[in-house]
Structure 1
Amino acid sequence: MADEVPQLIDVDEVPELVDVDEDDVPDLVDVGEAAAEPRGRARTPIAVRKMVRDKVPITLLTGYLGAGKSTLLDYIMTENHGYRIAVCMNDYGDTTDIESKALQFSNDDGNDPSAGMLALPNGCLCCSFKDLGIAAIEDMVAAQREKVDWVVVELTGLADPAPIAKSFWANEEMGDLELDSVVCVVDSRNVLKQIDEARDDGSPSECQRQIACADVILLNKTDLVTPEILDEVTAAVAAINPTLRVYRTDHSQIGLDKLFNLRAYAAAPTAIEECSDCISHTHTKGHAHTHGHHSHGITTTTIPLPPLSAEQFAALNDFLEEFIWAGKLLVDSKPVSWDGEPPEILRTKGFMLVDGEEKVVQGVADLFDIQPAVGSGDAQPKLVFIGRRVDSRLGDVVRARLGI
């Protein structure tokens, strides 16, 4: 099966985990495989150098307290995996015995941007960014630039990653940093209950929002649930966000190459073509379809797009500006009737052909960007919206705006 690619996820089916060529799409890790992988296996310097980019990539790590974030961070900061990672922890207390493993602790000079950085024996660095802003993180990393290939930022268990991802993605003060992806760790034992929880105002829970904004999900603690429960969890997660890469793990053990260099916010067709929707074999061509769950509050709709003319592209760009930036849904300059409040978008992805030129759409919350695609891919033109009150009517609006 070395040349196969992952099956597209249908929310009515539990997706199978398949093996693929590691030079193409990353393997989906099964529990036994993950457990068998040596924790101390070092990566060769050549493999590390392949991941070096002009800017230092950032991975946001989210997940409920107790899901396994600390276990993953402990692996990053203690094992000889070969990566030089700066870990920005929300609180040192969330990870056991890190300070005792440090080689040195920088001085308390307030003028030193590297103050507060711990140097670890495996070549990684860590710091606490509690109460610090993006600029402070950028300054600390810049001071250690020759020692850092990657940055992992841990979010609190109750954090909504959407506004944080938006800040890291769009902030002009980022300098030498760029957002690569959002990784979410979930507790397979408790995630179904956490998904069905709601805020006091009836809006989706933090767990739902974390899953909706993630690019990768680690279904952790798989050794503590039955195969039937694990399949139910997989389907529930895919119902919220069918664009995810899903890995099943035990004690958060996974090769870091599965989490890094995903370019989920880059203008790369691979960031779109690996969206695991099921348009091609379960829905009528040309019509949007929606994934959801009766109690989630967060749904996904995927809208197939034809090749676009320059005029149609301009119309689509106008639609995205009005909808994502201003929260307006208009057809022929008239508001579209929507039951209750209009949709709230958490994540936008898209791929389109405009007069033969490939373009990629990326968005988080109320920001989006369209760039020429980098490299070539076989992605089918489409728009994917993930958020609240999202349904197939968005496809009707898009087609009306495009005149198709």
Structure 2
Amino acid sequence: MTKRKMSIAKAPKIPVTVLTGFLGSGRSQYLGKTTLLNHILSDNTHGMKFAVIENEFGEIGIDEKILHENVEEEVVEVMNGCICCTVRGDLVVALKKLHKKVKMFDGIIIETTGLADPAPVVQTFFIDDDVKEMYNLDSVITVVDAKHILERLAEEKPEGVENESVEQVCFADRVLLNKTDLVDGKTLDQIETKVKELNPSASIIRCQYSKVDPKELLNIEAFNLKRVLDFEPDFLADDQEHQHDQSVSSVSCRVKGNLNQEMLMRWISRLIEEDGANLYRYKGVLAVKGMAEKFVFQGVGMLFDGAFAAGQKWTEPEEDRENVFVFIGKNLKSEWLKNCFKACLVTNSLRFKVGDRVKANVGEWKDGVVKKVWDEGNAYRIEVNDRKKTNVWAPIDVDEYIRAVN
């Protein structure tokens, strides 16, 4: 009787896509890396289901609040630090945890913070034996901002400190040149030339609003370890370390309450005008007094975009709504930012009630009657005593807008 050798088939490795891009590769709440992620998750053509690992540079996460709400994917947050250093151990734990649910997913997407050097993230798939057996690194996708990328790539750093945007381009298998509508053709050609100098083998895809066919990004088997070792021979060394620019920090705030819309916009306008050059990225989800929808904002430098998000209404009562924001940039004044934000909260009761006779400032003082309080984010809606019964708003409860009748 002959003995047969029994072979045990190994479970197929799960493909992993790493999504990177320096802070501000998008333009508004739905136009950056998170936008690209949303496109992938909501696209029905690829037929795949993903687990998502997100990372925020800071203590508070925002992106999970603006991810596509109808997706069934599992989202794991790796918080409070750069995924490439202080929380890399958490990344390994998250990957091993997700592998227990391997039958539920066709792939993993890792969205890193904009300040992440991809090298230690990529290393994880080659130096951790368990992760190496479970997963296959399919590709590194880097989203770059056509408006700012040349400036970021040329930025000089202190000795020993890495330029993360350069590292992200160097490690990319695909470079998505986003926001192409904001620059001219000559600038786009200059960007592509610079990208090719740093990474000759990377494919470059020009796009707007991060709209790219997922088939060009998923299951493309583009990552090549030999290419990485060619430009970084010590890539797999155990003692690899990197330094971040210590002048760059994040300021985050989480506070219950409702904001006065006029005061909020005045503060943001002043902040952008005075400190826009130092702001790499800022975003938030806010509760505005008198509005049922969430106010979602994001910005890069002096490019600000904010709006009430259609279909994203608060389910909590007004007193339980929670505002969150994160600012990332250079030389940020943490306490000043937090105090200015909190100063926009509605804390006092209004002086007038519906039906009160008042004077309204419409360029001149006119008699009127309060018709509604906290109407569409404004403290008062007033019906002026004229032939048209004109309705005007007083955005703030101060004498400059509304006064008592003498």
TM-score (norm 1): 0.47
Q: Greater strand percent: which structure? A: 2
